[in-house]
Amino acid sequence: MLKAVKQAEATPAAAGAVATAAAPAKPKLPAKGAPGKKDAAPVTRRSFPAAMLAAIAVPYYLAWTVLAAIGGVWSLAIARFMMPNTVLELPSRFKIGPPSDYPYGKVSEKFKPSRGVYIVNTEFDGAPAIYALSSVCTHLGCTPSWLEAEQKFKCPCHGSGFYITGVNFEGPAPRPLERVGLSLSPDGQLEVDKSVKFQDELGQWQDPKSFVRIA
């Protein structure tokens, strides 16, 4: 009987222990203010107008920059059109010195680089004459060179050859070199006039303005 009473007294305590063990655990609340993480800064009344102003101003700034660049290009173009050309063009007429500077039977290339002409002193129609030949090949416009040893003009591009008189004799050039105007000025100097040209195949070499006779 005493055994039964002890068992009865022990039962409520055991039951309480079981109930305590079976009680559910309390849920964990999220940690506040976790280190390393910052909340987004709230938009204040002062920062909102500034952000709106920046959003509006940037596109306008870009647009005005583009317009200013276009305006600058147009201004330069107009100024270039209105202002005179600063590149000085050489006159078509120029003096080359007295006839004595050009010995008989010789070709002078003195004015070939700057003026594009050869000055030749040779026989023409049975008498000595000085004339100015264009340095432009009649094939495709290259510049022949005078070969003293071979007594001919030779074009380096396609091999056209011309006698001292300018008449073509080899290569693809279809006609002689052209003469340009030449006259004796009152001061005794020879004067070249590149504004006029004379072609042999048209009979223009007989024009007195295409050569100067030497006494």
pLDDT per residue over 66-91, tens digit each?
777 787 776 766 666 665 555 457 78
pLDDT at 214: 85
79-129 per-position pLDDT tens digit? 666 655 554 577 899 999 999 999 999 999 999 999 999 999 999 999 999
Nearest to 170 by CA among 161, 182, 157: 161
Instruction: Tell me the domain boundaries of the chain.
Output: 93-213
Q: What is the pLDDT of residues 170-208, one digit of tens each?
A: 999 999 999 999 999 999 999 999 999 999 999 999 999
Listed in sequence order, the residues at least 6 apart from 132 whose beta carbon sits closer than 8 Å to its beta carbon are 117, 118, 119, 120, 179, 180, 181, 182, 192
Best CATH choice for the domain 93-213 from the list 3.90.79.10, 2.102.10.10, 3.40.50.2300, 3.10.20.30: 2.102.10.10
Report the DSSP beta bridge partners of residue 179: 133, 198
